[in-house]
Structure 1
Amino acid sequence: MNTKKVKTKINQLFDLSDRVAIITGGAGMLGEMHAEAIAEAGGCPVLVDINEKEAIKKAKIISEKYDVDSIGIRTDITNKTDVEAMLETVLKRFERIDILINNAANDPKVKANNENKAGSRFENFPLETWNQDIAVGLTGAFLCTQIIGSEMARRKSGVILNISSDLGLIAPDQRIYTKEGLPEDKQPVKPVSYPVIKSALIGLTRYAATYWAEKNIRVNAICPGGVQSEQPMDFLEKLTFRIPMGRMARKDEYKGAILFLISEASSYMTGAVLVVDGGRTCW
């Protein structure tokens, strides 16, 4: 048996040579990892972010490291005009868009130096914060899907990936956020907006997947677990106790799943939800 031919065919399924991929929230930690996965497979990552300086900086690093054409573009994805202008910029530069990763979100991280904010509790959660979170995490994904997806539909080709979360499938276990010595009304919690948005992204995924199926556009979602990054030890112990694999993810550990979902390796998947959470949602 000629194993060389078999390996070559499998490699081709994951090949993104010259594919153009837009990543919202591209200047963030996971956005950068998504961009690296695309670049390693030969694609051209476009890092879209409200932080223009970081987006351009990270795109330049990726370009030099992987010898691909990568750019950073400042875009407010909550603004339709901004998203339309970003689309025009990408089309002028690359003449096509093959992949969209809706990654941007407001997500307050648990860190050792974080102050406890009673305002994150459901009873006191500010409407202004709710609206801001919904605007970035859900409305931004809607606008990018609507505008960029329509361009894909015109070309009858494209892949859209929505970054949901394990908290799009299960409720936050607020016990992992508790701090000893604080009264109940001062205890920190995971804000309500985050799991609501991540759940809604799964609905958007299924809607767009069936809406554009005849246009040769695939739309899937990934539900990743949390990434270890500067969290205090007491939080890590409480969280990892609830994860069968006993740890949080490394920041580069989703690259394989991302590449699978945006490449031809997943050509018969649409409207699907891939869970990559160390087994947390099994319990």
Structure 2
Amino acid sequence: MTAPSARYDLSGRTALVTGAGGLLGRQHTTALVEAGARVVVTDIGLAPCETAIATIREIAPKADLVPFALDVTSQESIQAAAIDLSSRGVEIDILVNNAAIDPKVMSTPGVMHSSRFEAFPVAQWQTEIAVGLTGAMLCAQVFGTPMAQRGRGVILNIASDLGVIAPDQRIYRQPGVGRDEEQPVKPVTYSVIKHGLIGLTKYLATYWADRGVRVNAISPGGVFNNQDPAFVERLTRLIPMGRMAKVDEYRSAVQFLCSDASSYMTGQNLVMDGGRSVW
């Protein structure tokens, strides 16, 4: 009989995490390291990769981490990374599509806020879609194809509870802003990208089902990161558990989805949102 812990063991496997320099990117990387994987830590530049690695090594000094600058919006950059890694004998067994732009919004009195749908800039739409959705497709294409050729691999797409439900724009309202059109909102791109990632997950899961590549998504809820107390209060009223997630609460789920513990699971979206999408 195989011990339960052995199914989570990623020793001998190499994972690649995009957007690894971000808040959750570091957590996903830490989760994989804890399970024994070597991790290629990628971001738009080397500096955020190295900062993330330094932070992770504070708790895991022996972690096998490889920094790599990667522009997920550029097919050439991704292909060059794949060729470089292959030349070093590095095969990617696990791809975590985490790179995204999470826009922060502030209001300018007297002006329709640019986050609102009526005024949303096409250039911003294209930029955010390029990073969060097209980037995931390109990385899956470049790193997933060799997985299918080898007959084994895992892709995990990082979606969001807002890939399951629509944003409640009331929680983003700012006091002292008079007209509704001046109030910031969660932009249309965020929801479209996260819904799209879940669609990409289902497509790839069935496309490569007979090639040994499993593809799943996780939809985290909001993570507490010292946000404005008024915002936190409004959000937590929408969550049955009455709080936002702790920054490290998704690690075990990532380990489950990237390991043999979930060997009969593909095409699924694991929602971890404190129950928000249930209400």
TM range (shorter): over 0.9
CA distance in 2, matches of 1:59, 1:18: 19
Matched AA of 1:204: L
Question: TM (normalized to structure 1)?
Answer: 0.93
Structure 1 stretches lacking a partner, 5+ long: 1-5
Secondary structure of 1:248's counterpart equals coil
- Contact kept, 8 Å, 2:154 with 2:213, in 1: the verdict is yes
Moved over 3 A (4+): 60-64
| Paired position in structure 1 for 2:268 | 272
CA distance in 1, matches of 2:175, 2:99: 33
- Paired residue for 1:116, among 95, 107, 132? 107
Secondary structure of 1:149's counterpart equals helix
Matched AA of 2:107: N
- Paired residue for 1:206, among 193, 202, 209? 202
- Contact kept, 8 Å, 1:56 with 1:71, in 2: the verdict is no
Secondary structure of 2:218's counterpart equals strand
Following TM superposition, by how much is the alpha carbon of 1:87 offset from its aligned partner in structure 2, in angstroms?
Answer: 1.2
| Paired position in structure 2 for 1:147 | 142
- Contact kept, 8 Å, 2:14 with 2:90, in 1: the verdict is no
Aligned residues: 273
Following TM superposition, by how much is the alpha carbon of 1:52 offset from its aligned partner in structure 2, in angstroms?
Answer: 1.4
Task: Output one character per residue of 1:58-113: Cα deviation in whole Å (capped at 9) or x when no partner.
Answer: 2355457241321111111110010011112222334311100000000024xxxx
Matched AA of 1:253: E
Matched AA of 2:43: D
Cα RMSD of the aligned pairs, angstroms, is: 1.4
Task: Output one character per residue of 1:208-250: Cα deviation in whole Å (capped at 9) or x when no partner.
Answer: 0000011100000001001111211111111000000001111
> 2:213 matched to 1:222?
no
Question: TM (normalized to structure 2)?
Answer: 0.94
- Contact kept, 8 Å, 1:76 with 1:82, in 2: the verdict is yes
- Contact kept, 8 Å, 2:157 with 2:217, in 1: the verdict is yes
Matched AA of 1:47: V
CA distance in 1, matches of 2:138, 2:82: 11
CA distance in 2, matches of 1:139, 1:226: 23
- Paired residue for 1:27, among 21, 25, 29? 21
Structure 2 stretches lacking a partner, 5+ long: none
CA distance in 2, matches of 1:94, 1:250: 37
Secondary structure of 2:51's counterpart equals helix
Matched AA of 1:115: M
- Contact kept, 8 Å, 1:102 with 1:141, in 2: the verdict is yes
Relative to structure 1, the CA distance from residue 94 to residue 33 in structure 2 (aligned partners, 3 Å threshold; closer, same or farther) is farther
> 2:189 matched to 1:193?
yes
Identity across the alignment (%): 52
- Contact kept, 8 Å, 2:156 with 2:257, in 1: the verdict is yes
